Amino acid sequence: MDEVLPFEINDADNHFVEPEDMYERYIDPRFREKAVRYVRSDDGQRVQLFGGRPSKLGFTRESAPQTDEEIDWLVDRVAPDPGSDVATKPGDGGARAPGMFLNRLNPYKGIDQEARRRLIRKFMRQEVAWGDRDLRLELMNEQGIHAAIMFPGHVLSLEYEFGDDVDAIHANAQAYNRWIHAEVGFAYSERMFLPPYIALGDVDLAVEEVERVISEGARVLGFATGHAHGGRDNPRGGRSIADPAFDPVWARINEANVRVATHVGPTDYQKYGADLSEDPNAVLGDFDALQWVLYWCDRPAMETVTSMILHGLFDRFPKIQVCMSEQGTTWLPYLLRKLDHAFLMGRKARWGSLDQRPREIFRQHFVVAPFPEENVERVIAEVGVEPIVFGSDFPHGEGLAIPSQYASAQLGGLPDDQVEAIMGGNLARFLAQPR
């Protein structure tokens, strides 16, 4: 059951499920043949196509269960025994239930089969609200959530999927952003904040898109985590997201004082596996243990933070504020110590000057959402409470099925004021919302 908290929740990692035909309806007609779309495969799965080519990731559309047969299939999988690999492969195209990939916070553990069935049916009834803005506000009220940053419900990996087709990347990003503005709103009711996606394959196109979405009311802008696209002349390479080449983009964001968010997603980092006897063309769903450890989530997150700080982004644009969503925090204590060590050894920044401890720069310019089952107190010991925000990842299978339970389950050992700050106050400050 939902826990009733004495304060409202602000959620830094939530998801709004977009319609399948969104890209086709909103893409610039000049690039219609490059639109992302869905088709049904021979085995009945909904398959994502990128300009007519199946997704490199091999993922099919995830969904809540639709039939009694799917419910029965899920009932035996949502609460696996410790060590089981039955429910540890998100993205293989089967039906999903919120929280099914969690361990300690798995809501289906410790209850019988019939209770599991009732809980899954509850989420079936909710599913229509996952992609309907007014019904979603009602669901947020039930969950005790005041405001949420909402990312796509399905994979948004345009740079990775389209690779060197820069026009396709930007055209589909623009289509996604047009859909948000037309059918949901960038900041609907000052409660649902959907970040328009800003691709960086072409700086001039990125500037145009930033200016357009800001003029339409965008309050948070979304960027890919890790290195930026290498551009038309180097599509298989990369650039620092804080490279001065992107200063025209950051200048407009800084001037408008809008926020920035990055979210975990597929990257091309596996290309570095060629130096470690690994397949550089492997895709996320088939990563082996080394590839998962080195190229998924943590490294792109660390490179985002490191390049922004050590490449002087905040010296040049001091109003920039960044939310790191669904990227966890296990990497953060190590990274802050390493950044501070470089500073204390007198290492210089390539662009600008490094005249303040990186740890303090992080505290001034970042907020970060731990994964649902991470040790939050360990991170607080390194960076304090102020940069820590709550993220549910609802309604994904690896997210919190009942967001309000996080306060007691993960923050129970903290003082009340710190619990309230993490669950709501810190993100309210980031969004500059009155409370």
Q: pLDDT tens for residues 379-425?
A: 999 999 999 999 999 999 999 999 999 999 999 999 999 999 999 99
Amino acid (1-letter code) at residue 278: E
Which residues lie below 8 Å from residue 182, measured CB to CB, with a gap of 6+? 26
User: Degrees (nearest 5) of the Cα angle 155, 159, 164?
Assistant: 145
In DSSP terms, 39 is beta-bridged to 47
**Closest Cα partner for 323 from 299, 301, 294?**
301
Which residue ranges make up each domain of the chain?
A: 9-17+131-431, 37-125
Q: What is the DSSP string of 20-84?
A: TTHHHHHS-GGGGGG-EEEEE-TTS-EEEEETTEE-TT--B--B---SHHHHHHHHTTSSPPTT-
Cis before 82 (ω within 30): no
- Who has greater pLDDT, 58 or 234? 234
Over its C-alpha atoms, the chain yields an Rg (Å, rounded) of 21
Task: Count Cα neighbours of 165 within 13 Å in the Cβ-side half-sphere.
Answer: 17
For residue 84, count other CB atoms closer than 10 A to its CB: 10
pLDDT class for 93, splitting at 50, 70, 90?
A: very low
Does residue 321 surpass a pLDDT of 90? yes
Strand order in 53-54's β-sheet? 36-40, 46-50, 53-54
Domain topology for 9-17+131-431:
TIM Barrel (3.20.20)
Q: pLDDT tens for residues 346-373?
A: 999 999 888 899 999 999 999 999 999 9
Cα separation, 323 vs 137, in Å, equals 22
Q: pLDDT tens for residues 215-228?
A: 999 999 999 999 99
Q: Say what the pTM is.
A: 0.94
What six digits make up the tokens of 29?
A: 């007609």
Instruction: Residue count of the chain, please give it.
Output: 435
pLDDT class for 234, splitting at 50, 70, 90?
A: very high
**Closest Cα partner for 390 from 413, 367, 412?**
367
